Amino acid sequence: MSDNESRPADPAPEPAPNSSSGSDASPPESTPDSPAYSPYPAEPSSGATADGAPGYFAPPSPYPPGPYYYPPKPGTNGFAVAALVVGIVGLCLCFGFLGIIFGNVARRQIEETGQAGAGMATAGIVLGWIAVGWIALRIILVLSVGTTDYYY
């Protein structure tokens, strides 16, 4: 082996320092390879903003934070209440079908708005169908019996 092959290559010679007077010498520029290089701006010191202007920091409040209030929940759907009332009253009178209508409208509105009252809407629908069935049964019984003479 020769001396050239066993020896690593010499690093590139460094340029000679600027021999001009010390007052005109500028600092060497930072490159991404140098340790002083940072692609981010320097952090501001306490009490100053990023542009160097003095910052304002508010003192802490002497009062404890107030209570957190939840936003109000949407109330009960009015059609659901009406469906339940009409369904109950419709068992005795002849308008139980309105409980079915109001209950279905209430269920659609509850799905869209998130209001409460889904159980009342369902109860109004069920009671409305029971009232309609009861009315239909009474009509069938009246028509099937017909008019009879009980005079002997």
Residue 96 domain boundaries:
78-144
Q: How confident is the model at residue 60 (pLDDT cuts 50, 70, 90)?
A: confident
**Residue 39, domain member (yes or no):** no
**Residue 13, domain member (yes or no):** no
**Residue 11, domain member (yes or no):** no
**Residue 97, domain member (yes or no):** yes
Residue 62 has pLDDT above 60, yes or no: yes
Greater model confidence, 99 or 49: 99
Q: How far is CA 25 from the centre of its chain?
A: 61
Greater model confidence, 107 or 34: 107
Greater model confidence, 35 or 92: 92
**Residue 138, domain member (yes or no):** yes
**Residue 44, domain member (yes or no):** no
C-alpha neighbours within 13 Å on the C-beta side of residue 139: 7
Segment 45-53 shows an average pLDDT of 55
Q: CA–CA separation, 90 vs 95, rounded Å? A: 5
Q: What is the DSSP letter of 111?
A: H
Instruction: Count up the domains in the chain and report the number.
Output: 1
**Residue 58, domain member (yes or no):** no
100: nearest Cα among 132, 77, 136: 132
Q: How confident is the model at residue 49 (pLDDT cuts 50, 70, 90)?
A: low
pLDDT at 34: 57
**Residue 47, domain member (yes or no):** no
pLDDT at 80: 97
132: nearest Cα among 75, 94, 86: 94
pLDDT at 152: 58
